[in-house]
Structure 1
């Protein structure tokens, strides 16, 4: 569960409502698993923030948190989450290369598509550096090389074309295009509103990527 407020006072009021609800229903919050993150405003970080209490205990302030598999940081940049995905691709690729080294080419391609092309929450990456994005692309290419036993410096575009596997940019275009399509076809009024907003950074970014352009 996530509570978002523009002020400490507002957050305290939200927590008070939650505390009243759980007390009424005989429940309790796990304070050890509850944390606070203060997002930057206009690039400024609040070093001192009044304590936030839950069940009489001050909540820990964190500067990095994984929520639903996505890494959040106070500056709302996606470099940390991209690095998470880069490491995950590396681990999965090495595991596949070790366990399925003797399998046929078709089996390896199927495994690569299943385990190395998901890029979980990549549709939400809108604020990142060229360095982190390029590092993920290089890891994606190297993962395929390792699994297929190809030379380290062979052509990335050539090897993907020969195997009929989407390259990094094609994979990203499909993921972003899928998000926009699902938002626009959703029956949920909130999601439809987000999809119709021309100033929505996520939808605009996905449209840019799905059209074959890279936005920095």
Structure 2
């Protein structure tokens, strides 16, 4: 599990991903799930959710939410003059990244 955490949690800059197709993200999730199953010697058809839960590791959605929350928190709390200036601009308020962040952090239950 340490191998999985060290190599599959470090998806650099994933908190800045904003232009991707749903199909692309789904393929990435399948690859992420398959890596865990292969490391555990499980067949591809077994439950990914169960494998993640039983082994105490985060799935890709949790990793991305954590990355987004961490970056957003650092941006919001930064005292750097450049970051503060951007954060206070009208562009930041309607920015695509911020919309994606909120979409990832606040998942709405439909139905």
- Which structure 2 residues correspond to residues 5-154 of structure 1 after superposition, within 5 A? 109-154=1-46
Q: Are residues 1:209 and 2:104 paired?
A: yes
CA displacement 1:2-49 (0-9 Å, x = unmatched): xxxxxxxxxxxxxxxxxxxxxxxxxxxxxxxxxxxxxxxxxxxxxxxx
Aligned residues: 105
Q: What is the aligned partner in structure 1 of residue 95 from structure 2?
A: 200
CA displacement 1:77-136 (0-9 Å, x = unmatched): xxxxxxxxxxxxxxxxxxxxxxxxxxxxxxxx1111111111111111111111111110
Q: Relative contact order (C-alpha < 8 Å, sep 6+): which is higher?
A: 2
Quote how far apart the aligned CAs of 1:162 are: 0.7
How high is the TM-score relative to the length of structure 1?
0.46
Kindly tell me: are residues 110 and 198 of structure 1, through their superposed partners in 2, closer, same or farther at Cα, counting changes over 3 Å? same
Q: What is the aligned partner in structure 1 of residue 48 from structure 2?
A: 156
| Structure 1: runs of 5+ lacking an equivalent | 1-108
Higher helix residue share: 2
Quote how far apart the aligned CAs of 1:210 are: 1.9
Quote how far apart the aligned CAs of 1:193 are: 3.4
How high is the TM-score relative to the length of structure 2?
0.85
Kindly tell me: are residues 203 and 151 of structure 1, through their superposed partners in 2, closer, same or farther at Cα, counting changes over 3 Å? same
Larger radius of gyration: 1
CA distance in 2, matches of 1:172, 1:195: 21
Quote how far apart the aligned CAs of 1:198 are: 1.2
